[in-house]
Structure 1
């Protein structure tokens, strides 16, 4: 069977209130859960996205296998009662998990475990029934432990909208924080860290660096990942796949910045998490522009909020670039030290506060709900009703239900393939960009900034479309476009730094050194960028 669920982290200040609220309703139950998770030494199951556990639920043992579903909130779940804490892999013969189990080439052993106190209650909404599960406990792997404090919303029956409506209500009331990682994903990462630390303990001469590296790897920033598209897929299905990948990058980095694993006892979030969160937002905005007019317009609430959140995290990012990147170069060039302005702690928001903000978290939840059900653009102003996915449905069914819409004459018209659409749009973006880039040095500051944004949009769009484009030509183009973007990125960083140092000249005359050095570097970068744009213009990766 498939399960659809949303999991939200409960911050310390809300834990008592949330558990009491779950207990208040009719049918609330308490249960103790102890689970043992299995895998091979080389993590064969985890690498396949599969979690295999045996769990003591009260006094009963249940063996459960979970596999990825069509989206971030859906998983295939196979449950089997067991007489004791012993695995029986023969149970998966003839199931969707059969191939994964048959491919195992090493014995399974316990990799990590969870010990949880759960409170459950079913809630009926106008859209369906949802089961709440409030979990508190520990996740263990070797000598390491992580806290578990989360509220799960699982769809029992009805429409997917029931999940999002209820989760949004609780999220806003209690300041809950989205985390797309399952207990299994957290456990697998923790077990990897425990193994690395164990190895470092056996090598005292290198112990501390290895231990530090293992801890840093556990909370490493989530980078962008590739998306493999079907060149004949619908635009809605393609944008859903891209949107989910971007959302996972945003949510993961936001969760680390919100310190959901550490409760403030350890600052896991770093400037790179902020950067990668903003990269995820940029990629998402680029995807929306790439598919504009091919799917239904993104709701205004999502597009307006995305700018505000992007800028809020950007204010923190600009300070990091100034102090960590530009200033060291100026000092190395001979600039006398200049005291940088310190943000007013009474008004400035730190990354943890920004990432935990209910408005930002509510936007993430709304964004996930919209992305999972993107409808295609209406034709001639009309569109047939699209059925909402249910617990037994698949989002692909929705795409198929709207794939063929009638024209004004009532005839069915085959739309251009996704591959063709993407190639034409990317080619048009390329031509506009190289046209303006050919006169980069003469552009105004505003025009340079807009050109840089168009270049980022093209680079992200190209990364989405790579799987449906000619590999050799697109690879060469990406390399050349990356070179252009690196120059434009440095140009932008220096423009931001120039404004910061300009504001310091009255109190600190030595800041004039920075302005002179920056001006000279900006002139050199403008000339270099113009040359790179000329080289880029010679490539034809999209057209014939």
Structure 2
């Protein structure tokens, strides 16, 4: 497979800049016609391609671990194929906007070419070809691509590509239904301008995972797993806006990635992690708000109905899977009539959660929701360029982080002095969350002992107050018309008893 090593030449640095958007999968066959009628694409010639892609990696996935993709692409028919070999390197997995190096050349046939990797960074990675010799096919993507080229005033050129097909890996497959907007000329803002015009009438979701990454997830049986927090690595020498961008982008990615998974997964943990992602994002926004000029923050009012639906679904899931089961024996006490009512109540909550999950999925099909998520994605991409407030006088990141967390801790201490009324309890619970998420995000910049102590305190408070709230919520759900009023009284009594022991 590998021929004589070619002479090494300096590698050019071509950049692929594209915006990925997931689309509704209910009627994929009609999406091309729907898009063609949109003003931004109308009267532009559409070109349809049939693409078959084979991705290669080592058996232990060394390329994937280094965020490298190497593929062979067949364009056209099997009778008259055109083969392209593409190397992609770099990029991030925390944004729908991807920027990474891409090197693509024509090759004679369906076999990787060692020579085609000349003048690419591969030569720095694998000078003697030992790594190349271990490469094997690992996944396949096959899809129909419908392409429009959009030329804008000012000289920007965007390729809009609708991809419908499937990813296959390890004997399993998952559908592809997405838009890729690739920047051929002009600034990245042009991608968002075109995307927003599409989002006015078509529900979109920012997509943080590539087709190849979905293939690897299939191999690891991890495609529908919930995405948990992955706080970014921060350095003390970072400007505050850059740190804010990294922190907020990771949190928003957790939110949108779990929303995308929620469209097909019934796992209650996916709902939980979507809600956690938004709460972390909102808490971090409040954390950074005083030090940044955030006048350009997009309006996320359109997300409020979705967030309310997600919150109600989470309450139902917690009640039926976490809060209620431990009290089943204590409530029924061997009484057959109570056991029957308990089972009826549990079934009613399960049906309610199923209906609520469908409402959440319907909310994700509202174009205004996708447009708001898209606007936040664009804002996050420009955040590092925002000026810091003159009042802040460009603080050093470590000093600023320690001041902010210490101030939050003081606010929580004051709030805990009076938690007799529900409003004060609510404020203390919110502050405990903000302190916890702030410490977790800024942990590398904080003094270890105080941060560890304050974090443990915040987690304990959040857990205790959350448990009491979950009991009251479960009691309210049980007291809903048609459910067991006696169980509601029982749970309220438990909640009051737990509160009185604190």
> TM-score range with shorter-chain normalisation?
0.7 to 0.9
Q: Does 1:67 align with 2:89?
A: yes
SS in 2 for 1:302: coil
Distance of 1:370 and 1:187 partners within structure 2: 29
Q: 2:298·2:375 contact (CA, 8 Å) conserved in 1?
A: no
Candidates 359, 376, 385, aligned match of 1:367: 376
Q: Structure 1 34/347 Cα, relative in aligned 2: closer, same or farther at 3 Å?
A: closer
Distance of 2:329 and 2:246 partners within structure 1: 45
Query: Post-superposition shift, 1:93?
Result: 5.7
Distance of 1:98 and 1:472 partners within structure 2: 46
Q: Does 1:139 align with 2:167?
A: yes
Q: Structure 1 83/294 Cα, relative in aligned 2: closer, same or farther at 3 Å?
A: same
Q: Which runs of 5+ in 1 are unaligned?
A: 194-216, 260-267, 381-406, 408-412, 528-544
Candidates 59, 62, 69, aligned match of 1:51: 69
Distance of 1:53 and 1:98 partners within structure 2: 17
Distance of 2:197 and 2:45 partners within structure 1: 20
Q: Structure 1 507/258 Cα, relative in aligned 2: closer, same or farther at 3 Å?
A: closer
Q: 2:85·2:116 contact (CA, 8 Å) conserved in 1?
A: no
Query: Post-superposition shift, 1:315?
Result: 1.1
Query: Post-superposition shift, 1:301?
Result: 4.6
Query: Post-superposition shift, 1:510?
Result: 4.8
Candidates 221, 236, 242, aligned match of 2:241: 236
Equivalent pairs, count: 461
Q: Does 1:258 align with 2:283?
A: no
Q: Structure 1 464/509 Cα, relative in aligned 2: closer, same or farther at 3 Å?
A: closer
Q: Structure 1 359/458 Cα, relative in aligned 2: closer, same or farther at 3 Å?
A: same
TM-score by length of 2: 0.83
Query: Post-superposition shift, 1:166?
Result: 1.2
| 1:173-192 matched pairs, under 5 angstroms | 173-192=201-220
- CA deviations 1:223-277 (Å, max 9, x no partner) are 1112111212122211111122112211211111122xxxxxxxx2321111100
Query: Post-superposition shift, 1:470?
Result: 3.4
Q: 1:136·1:149 contact (CA, 8 Å) conserved in 2?
A: yes
Candidates 466, 474, 499, aligned match of 2:443: 466
SS in 2 for 1:513: helix
Q: Does 1:282 align with 2:279?
A: yes
Query: Post-superposition shift, 1:182?
Result: 0.6
SS in 2 for 1:296: coil
- CA deviations 1:315-341 (Å, max 9, x no partner) are 111111122222222223235445546
Candidates 111, 126, 139, aligned match of 1:112: 139
Q: Structure 1 170/512 Cα, relative in aligned 2: closer, same or farther at 3 Å?
A: same
Q: 1:40·1:107 contact (CA, 8 Å) conserved in 2?
A: yes
Q: Structure 1 422/90 Cα, relative in aligned 2: closer, same or farther at 3 Å?
A: farther
- The aligned counterpart of 2:19 is 6
TM-score by length of 1: 0.77
Q: 2:254·2:277 contact (CA, 8 Å) conserved in 1?
A: yes
Distance of 2:47 and 2:150 partners within structure 1: 13
Query: Post-superposition shift, 1:299?
Result: 4.8
Q: Structure 1 431/53 Cα, relative in aligned 2: closer, same or farther at 3 Å?
A: same
SS in 1 for 2:485: coil
| 1:468-507 matched pairs, under 5 angstroms | 468-471=445-448, 473-501=450-478
Query: Post-superposition shift, 1:65?
Result: 1.4
Q: 1:112·1:188 contact (CA, 8 Å) conserved in 2?
A: yes
- The aligned counterpart of 1:34 is 52
- CA deviations 1:281-337 (Å, max 9, x no partner) are 011111111111222226565353454432221011111112222222222323544
Distance of 2:143 and 2:165 partners within structure 1: 4
- CA deviations 1:444-497 (Å, max 9, x no partner) are 111111111111111111111112223455345434432332222212212323
Query: Post-superposition shift, 1:349?
Result: 5.1
Q: Does 1:296 align with 2:293?
A: yes
| 1:437-476 matched pairs, under 5 angstroms | 437=416, 439=417, 442-471=419-448, 473-476=450-453
Q: Which runs of 5+ in 2 are unaligned?
A: 1-13, 333-337
- The aligned counterpart of 1:312 is 309
Q: Which 10-residue stretch deviates more, 45-54 or 503-512?
A: 503-512
Q: Which 10-residue stretch deviates more, 64-73 or 49-58?
A: 64-73
Q: Does 1:354 align with 2:363?
A: yes
Q: Structure 1 480/516 Cα, relative in aligned 2: closer, same or farther at 3 Å?
A: closer
Q: Does 1:246 align with 2:251?
A: yes
- The aligned counterpart of 1:395 is none
- CA deviations 1:194-247 (Å, max 9, x no partner) are xxxxxxxxxxxxxxxxxxxxxxx3311011112111212122211111122112
SS in 2 for 1:292: helix
| 1:307-346 matched pairs, under 5 angstroms | 307-335=304-332, 336=338, 337-338=341-342, 340=345, 343=352
CA RMSD between the two structures: 2.9
